[in-house]
Amino acid sequence: MKRIAILGSTGTIGVQALEVLSQFDTYEVVALAAGRNVERLAQQIRRYRPKLVAVADDEARRALHALVPGEPVDIVVGDEGLVACAAYPSDVVLNAVVGARGILPALAAVGRGARLALANKECLVAAGDLILRAMRDAGGEIVPVDSEHCALHQCLRSGRPEEIRRLVLTASGGPFRLWPKARMAEVTVRDALRHPNWHMGQKITIDSATMMNKGLEVIEAHHLFGVPYDKIAVLVHPQSIVHSMVEFVDGSVMAQLATADMRLPIQYAITYPDRLPAPWPRLDLASVGTLHFEEPDLDKFRCLRLAIEAGRAGGIAPCVLNAANEVAVDAFLREAISFLRIPEVVEAVLERMPNEVPQSVDDVLRADAEARRLAELYVSKGG
């Protein structure tokens, strides 16, 4: 029996992960971490009987206690609770926490030698070198859950690292792929949340609309697979059938194709290296017909360009990029800034903060906090 902890259990990825696990009798859910959706968490506690759960704060803990009287479960709170769930004895930790809050739980998981099934790209963006160092020191491993990196992980099983010519991340292009740049000033929150192919949380859906998500994925791929940035490319593929590709030095291209269903990469990350039967919808290429690819427009989608530049710069630049973007996206969702202001805020913060090489997680967290402070300042003052 393998033990699993799920961080972000009430979100889209967490709910789908529990659906995946319900197929098998070889996994035990030992820890769950959520935010304030205590009603859904209470249902999960009653069904999966975890030993430990984490919620956002004391108010959520009191509400959860009232919903699960008599259940033999310990309830912890806040970021310390997240880390406690990641540190709890388990074989696999699925990290689906949104944003930089995933850094410390990721370190706690790999630092004790567990498998980190990673659905939180921001932690590698902000602290990739530190997390990978902790993983190597403890003998842990990371298996990606993001559909693109899961695809690369599968394709790379076909060759050795020295045989890679380049990695190709595919992008749907989001809801604004066909919009002229001039029209982007009219984008509303409702427009940006209308993703053509995927059903995801609000933050990642906005990141997909700006193509910041693809930029973060470029940085994540660099860390996960040890490939330099000049060997990582992005292609827009609106059908979201080819999830990513690897081109090898002999000209062969390995691609992973599947339906746009996150349950497949979730299952892969949990059960790797085994492939187990699954009931998810199968790909029917005849009904798909044509697969289309095009180069991304880095002028229209400035966030993608900014992310690639920050990745190449290294140091704390990716951390600063990520933190400023989280603040800007939140402000856009609150309708405090326009859609086109998101890259403006990110670029302003990157220009304001000197780049340094972080030596510890505390350095990363300080840079993250300062970038958020500056981003909030730009949002509030229109600077």
Q: pLDDT tens digits, residue range 55-65?
A: 999 999 999 99
Give the Å distances, CA to CA, from 142 to 12, 43, 170, 256.
Answer: 20, 29, 21, 19
Topology classification of domain 150-259+282-381: Rna Polymerase Sigma Factor; Chain: A (1.10.1740)
Q: At a CB cut-off of 8 Å and minimum separation 6, what does 171 contact?
A: 211, 214, 234, 235, 236, 237, 296
Give domain limits for the chain.
Answer: 2-144, 150-259+282-381
Enter the pTM of the model: 0.93
Q: Collapsing DSSP states into helix, strand and coil, what is residue 198?
A: coil
Assess whether the region 2-144 and the region 150-259+282-381 belong to the same CATH fold: no
**Residue-level pLDDT at 70:** 87
Average pLDDT score over residue span 159-186: 94
Q: pLDDT tens digits, residue range 12-36?
A: 999 999 999 999 999 999 999 999 9
**Residue-level pLDDT at 98:** 86
In angstroms, rounded to a whole number, what is the distance separating the alpha carbons of residues 155 and 41? 36
CB 235 within 8 A of CB 168: yes
The correct answer on CATH 3.40.50.720 for the domain covering 2-144 is yes
**Residue-level pLDDT at 382:** 65
